[in-house]
């Protein structure tokens, strides 16, 4: 993704109450951050935050955390929050370090939406659907937790499907045309990228993973 530097975004993020600044300090105690025992769901690479913000407003009894690497993007997510958004936080970090922030079984569900493709083979392990990332998710996800991934990038999706075989997960559901799949579309919340690429006529691919039975 090409990034425009947003002046002042670092400072604005540093002062924003919707940001967790020391995520490692909350490993194993996210229930204290939210003040309840509700399930915690993560979006990795949340970008400008539309998906997670909308989802959190539809499900006030679920807690959400958005993870984004860049301040210039995260600032757009924070601009969407208001004072009623008490079941959602964001953190600016590289998801490579996600296991430093959540304990075993602490995450109920993981969302990956329109992840960066990293087209060069030598960068495959940076893809958020790689076996290396799936191994990280395995460490923090509940035993019956799910991973949901959607994209319009066929090469990335094919890679993601192949990587599942090298992981502790299996495909529970899959579609190669989400927007025409009545069952998998139920409750679908659009992301910024999904809106853009589906309006161009691109099919959207989606899988849901569960642990191997
Ligand atoms: C193509 S955008 C998609 C944004 C959003 N999920 C959507 O569907 O509209 C991918 C986002 O993932 C973020 N990202 C990529 N790798 C990441 C990583 N290792 N840790 C955290 N964020 C990452 C990028 O900075 C970017 O904002």
Instruction: Residue 36: give its domain's CATH number.
Output: 3.40.50.150
CB-based contact 172:194 (threshold 8 Å): no
Is 32 an annotated catalytic residue? no
Within-domain flag for 25? no
* CA 166 to ligand 1 center in whole angstroms: 23
Within-domain flag for 71? yes
Within-domain flag for 62? yes
pTM of this structure: 0.97
Within-domain flag for 205? yes
| The total number of structural domains that make up the chain | 1
Within-domain flag for 14? no
Within-domain flag for 21? no
CB-based contact 75:9 (threshold 8 Å): yes
Pocket test for ligand 1, best of 5, 41, 115, 202 (most atoms within 8 A of CB): 115
Within-domain flag for 22? no
Report whether residue 65 contacts ligand 1, using a CB cutoff of 6 Å: no
Domain carrying residue 74 = 30-211
Report whether residue 165 contacts ligand 1, using a CB cutoff of 6 Å: no
Report whether residue 47 contacts ligand 1, using a CB cutoff of 6 Å: yes
pLDDT in 10s for each residue of the chain, 213 residues? 556 788 888 899 999 999 999 999 999 999 999 999 999 999 999 999 999 999 999 999 999 999 999 999 999 999 999 999 999 999 999 999 999 999 999 999 999 999 999 999 999 999 999 999 999 999 999 999 999 999 999 999 999 999 999 999 999 999 999 999 999 999 999 999 999 999 999 999 999 999 998
What is the tally of helices (H) and strands (E) in the chain? 8, 7
Pocket test for ligand 1, best of 47, 77, 148 (most atoms within 8 A of CB): 47
What's the helix, strand, coil split of the chain in %, to 5?
A: 40, 25, 40
What is the residue whose two structure tokens read 């951050």? 33
Within-domain flag for 106? yes
Rounded to the nearest 10 degrees, the angle between the axes of helix 71-78 and helix 50-58 is 30
């Amino acid at each position: 993704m090409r990034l425009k530097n947003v002046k002042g975004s670092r400072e604005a993020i540093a002062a924003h109450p919707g940001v967790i600044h020391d995520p490692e300090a909350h490993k194993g105690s996210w229930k204290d951050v939210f003040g309840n025992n509700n399930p915690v769901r993560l979006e990795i690479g949340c970008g400008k935050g539309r998906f997670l913000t909308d989802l959190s407003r539809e499900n006030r009894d679920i807690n959400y955390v958005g993870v984004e690497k860049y301040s210039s993007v995260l600032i757009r997510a924070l601009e969407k929050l208001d004072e009623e958004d008490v079941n959602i936080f964001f953190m600016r970090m590289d998801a490579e370090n996600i296991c430093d922030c959540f304990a075993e079984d602490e995450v109920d569900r993981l969302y990956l939406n329109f992840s960066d493709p990293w087209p060069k083979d030598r960068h495959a392990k940076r893809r958020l659907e790689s076996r290396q990332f799936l191994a990280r998710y395995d460490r923090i996800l509940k035993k019956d937790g799910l991973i949901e991934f959607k994209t319009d990038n066929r090469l990335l999706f094919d890679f993601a499907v192949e990587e599942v075989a090298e992981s502790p997960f299996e495909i529970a559901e899959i579609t190669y045309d989400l927007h025409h799949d009545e069952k998998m579309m139920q409750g679908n919340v659009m992301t910024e990228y999904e809106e853009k690429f589906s309006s161009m006529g691109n099919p959207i691919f989606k899988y849901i993973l569960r642990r191997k039975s």
